[in-house]
Structure 1
Amino acid sequence: MQYVAGRAGAILRIDLQAVRDNYRLLSKMLGTAKCGAAVKADAYGLGVVEISRVLFEEGCRHFFVAHLEEAIVLRPHLSLDAAIYVMHGSPVGYEAEFLEHRCIPVLNSAQQISAWRELAASRQQQLPAIVQLDTGMSRMGLSTQEVNDWVANPELSSGIDIQFLMSHLSCAEDQSHPMNRSQLHTFQALRSRLPTCGASFANSSGIFLGTDFHFDLARPGAALYGVAPVAGQPNPLKAVAHLQGRIIQTRDIPADTGVGYGLTWRSQKPSRIATVAVGYADGWMRSLSNRGVAEIAGKTVPMVGNVSMDTITLDVSQIDAAHLQPGALVDLISATNTVDQVAAKANTIGYEILTSLGLRYQREYSDSSTTISHQTNA
């Protein structure tokens, strides 16, 4: 199925120059530390091939995905001097595919280390990897007991070329949270007992915690795509995503008329309602029902009624009819209604808004204010 200009119900514009500028800002903040990039989940929903290409042009050589399948998709689009790391490690029994597709696992458990060590022995070569340490998030990585076992038995990592030890911050967006320093101290203590190699600790928000957290390699993700890295502070990053939906039709309704499934909104006076071709099937969350807003001709209009699978409805009573013709575009994510503001109204985070963006948009990429491509995800 193809979604092309004029036929698609909405347009998702992705500003690649903003991605470049965000990467440059983060790289400058990191000083001598390298700036990698988390491009998992299709680069947070914005297109992993296009995003990774411009990041590579900006000097990024460390790319992080979650699944092996994501690495296999990305590998043909990056030269071999770019490392692609798979943060979940290998699915059981698929270790050899990492060699076939020139990608590198993040080893998160003693079992994953053992399987990688056995593959190295069978190939009679040193195999690269990152080893993750759990410093308090209790999600992935070697536990303290597993680190103790490794220290007592150094041969457990025989045949493994450990490029980095890494861990992941759980509360970095809250700069005052005591867990940040606690995790840092734990990471430093564990590293001191393990083989000497590089270290990777900071995610997007972690970069803003200061140089103590930077180590050798940072792994920003959301910040590259314009999501605010520090709660309650101005966002220094540029917006990357701009979402516009098309008006299907407008109708005038009398007072005390219900709108949408469940009739959860009723007009208090005669009103004009515009129906827009974006719904929860496109990642426009149902939690935005009666809470979200859109922008038309520079004016904010409320979303009324429940979000449907394919449509939303807006109260456009204050908008001139010239801006409400079928096919006209309304702004849903913009520089003045940012992904973080949309997320707040949906009671979620900007990460979820971006990664939920659906497959039915006409996708338009621009670089240095010049439109360079249209992509359809189908």
Structure 2
Amino acid sequence: MTSPRLAETSEVVAQTRMPRVEIDLDALKANWRTLDALNGRGRTGAAVKADGYGLGAARVSAALYDAGCRDFFVAWVEEGVALRRALAAGDRNDARIYVLQGLEIGAVPACLATRLVPVLSSLADVAAWGEGVERAGRRAPAALQFETGMNRLGLDAAALPIVKAAEAGGTLDVALVMTHLASADEENGQSAEQRALFLRFAAEFPQAERSLANSAGCFLGPGYGCDLTRPGIALYGGWAGALSHGRLRPVATLTAAVLQVRTVKAGEAAGYGAAAELSRDTRIATVGLGYADGYLRAASGAGVPLREGRPGATAFIAGQHVPVLGRVSMDLTLLDVTDVPADLVEPGTRAEFFGPNVPIDDVADAAGTIAYELLTGLGPRVRRVGR
């Protein structure tokens, strides 16, 4: 059994040496307000699925609520139940919480008890919801998602007569119709095609609100805003298409501490597979962060197939950008700090791996991925700190 003294010591270690992500809640609120200003006549919601994009759904939702947001989107009913409890604990009881991935009939009671709005994307969803509310002897709002070109989730035109019959029969109260833009961050014409088809579906439900725009869609103009937008990555400071450039503030700053500094002679190598061949005498800072924490192995400086011919990621330490050296391992990452004054890097010095000085999208690009994956992949060892 862990002694209180050891537990206390472990807590101190967790606060000083382990990796942490600092969450700038003011920047989060500012990003939401920027997005909200783009849609003057409608409301701006927030995607807080995947535990608030890895930053803590309860924390980010409370901050967004305080900024003015009242519409929140999660993927699963379980996420919605947890979020409802968290918001209720702070007397934020008028929030609307939508569940994006449909439901089974067994989840209907939980939706009704916690006032979740299911997004129905198939006839099976519609049937489950109808049977569930009929058993409960009550009506409750639901949303409908239509397929307009992404070919992922959504009802199609053939489902309309059945959906309309359920609505007429009183088992379906359509509060919102929506679709999802597949290419809003690219200029390929698909968004306009999806919008046109979506508006035709929405016209079948004139009493319902409409939701079309995701993060990148928010920047496409007022024709995409409709009644409710659903930004996600843009809230957290990630890239949302060329039109978002320079308009959003970084929210998450991932840092980790140096554990050891050593000088290695030219001609030697560093890390697994001797992937980093050193052409000069090199000072190496070993940092307590690895792919078990969500810092991707693909961001390595060398020795990873994806990286062949391309540079790896960089970090920011003691006021300078430095390269990742060799392969990122499970718990550790090596940094080349040769060009940083020796007295500025020592055990305990923290390095920034993404944040204001190392844009998260640059790190994602170096790792051959997207910012979404870096945020949602942050491991449980990374301490989340709101500020």
The normalised TM-score by structure 2 is 0.90
More helix by share: 2
- Residue pairs, 1:321-332, within 5 angstroms: 321-332=342-353
Match in the other structure for 2:328? 307
Could you say what secondary structure the match of 2:101 adopts?
A: coil
Match in the other structure for 1:75? 84
In the alignment, residue 263 of structure 2 is paired with which amino acid?
A: D
Match of 2:380 among 355, 359, 362: 359
Q: Following the alignment from structure 1 to structure 2, what is the Cα–Cα distance between the partners of residues 195 and 117?
A: 20
- Report the CA distance between 1:178 and its aligned residue: 0.9
- Report the CA distance between 1:192 and its aligned residue: 2.0
Q: Following the alignment from structure 2 to structure 1, what is the Cα–Cα distance between the partners of residues 280 and 246?
A: 39
Match of 1:112 among 110, 121, 125: 125
In the alignment, residue 158 of structure 1 is paired with which amino acid?
A: G
Deviations 1:45-68 (A, max 9, x none): 111111111111112111100011
Match in the other structure for 2:113? 100
The answer on 1:150 being equivalent to 2:156 is no
Deviations 1:109-131 (A, max 9, x none): 10110111112222232121111
Q: Following the alignment from structure 1 to structure 2, what is the Cα–Cα distance between the partners of residues 114 and 156?
A: 14
- Report the CA distance between 1:219 and its aligned residue: 0.6
State whether residues 322 and 337 of structure 2, in contact with CA within 8 Å, keep that contact through their aligned partners in structure 1. yes
Q: Following the alignment from structure 1 to structure 2, what is the Cα–Cα distance between the partners of residues 307 and 3?
A: 26
Q: Following the alignment from structure 2 to structure 1, what is the Cα–Cα distance between the partners of residues 281 and 196?
A: 62
Match in the other structure for 2:365? 344
State whether residues 223 and 229 of structure 1, in contact with CA within 8 Å, keep that contact through their aligned partners in structure 2. yes
RMSD (CA atoms): 1.7
Match in the other structure for 1:193? 204
State whether residues 229 and 235 of structure 1, in contact with CA within 8 Å, keep that contact through their aligned partners in structure 2. no
- Report the CA distance between 1:336 and its aligned residue: 2.5
State whether residues 8 and 362 of structure 1, in contact with CA within 8 Å, keep that contact through their aligned partners in structure 2. no
The change in CA–CA distance for 1:94 and 1:156 in structure 2 (over 3 A counts) is farther
Q: Following the alignment from structure 2 to structure 1, what is the Cα–Cα distance between the partners of residues 76 and 163?
A: 26
In the alignment, residue 41 of structure 1 is paired with which amino acid?
A: A
Match in the other structure for 1:166? 178
Deviations 1:298-340 (A, max 9, x none): 2111101111000100111111111221111111112131111
In the alignment, residue 71 of structure 1 is paired with which amino acid?
A: G
Matched residues, percent identical? 38
- Residue pairs, 1:52-71, within 5 angstroms: 52-71=61-80
State whether residues 219 and 243 of structure 2, in contact with CA within 8 Å, keep that contact through their aligned partners in structure 1. no
The change in CA–CA distance for 1:195 and 1:29 in structure 2 (over 3 A counts) is closer
Deviations 1:58-105 (A, max 9, x none): 121111000111112111122331111110121353222211232121
Match of 1:182 among 152, 170, 193: 193
State whether residues 20 and 382 of structure 2, in contact with CA within 8 Å, keep that contact through their aligned partners in structure 1. yes
Deviations 1:200-220 (A, max 9, x none): 110111010011111100011
- Report the CA distance between 1:195 and its aligned residue: 5.1
The answer on 1:256 being equivalent to 2:239 is no
Q: Following the alignment from structure 2 to structure 1, what is the Cα–Cα distance between the partners of residues 226 and 11?
A: 44
Q: Following the alignment from structure 1 to structure 2, what is the Cα–Cα distance between the partners of residues 97 and 208?
A: 35
State whether residues 270 and 277 of structure 2, in contact with CA within 8 Å, keep that contact through their aligned partners in structure 1. yes
- Residue pairs, 1:217-232, within 5 angstroms: 217-231=228-242
The answer on 1:246 being equivalent to 2:266 is no
The change in CA–CA distance for 1:263 and 1:126 in structure 2 (over 3 A counts) is same
In the alignment, residue 30 of structure 2 is paired with which amino acid?
A: D
Q: Which moved more, 1:155-164 or 1:2-11?
A: 2-11
Q: Which moved more, 1:246-255 or 1:190-199?
A: 190-199
Could you say what secondary structure the match of 1:90 adopts?
A: coil
Deviations 1:137-158 (A, max 9, x none): 111110222225435x455763
Match in the other structure for 1:36? 45
> Aligned pairs, how many?
364
Q: Which moved more, 1:307-316 or 1:195-204?
A: 195-204
The normalised TM-score by structure 1 is 0.92
Q: Please list every run of 5 or more consecutive structure 2 residues that lacks an aligned counterpart in the other structure.
A: 1-6, 302-311
Q: Which moved more, 1:5-14 or 1:43-52?
A: 5-14
Q: Please list every run of 5 or more consecutive structure 1 residues that lacks an aligned counterpart in the other structure.
A: 367-378
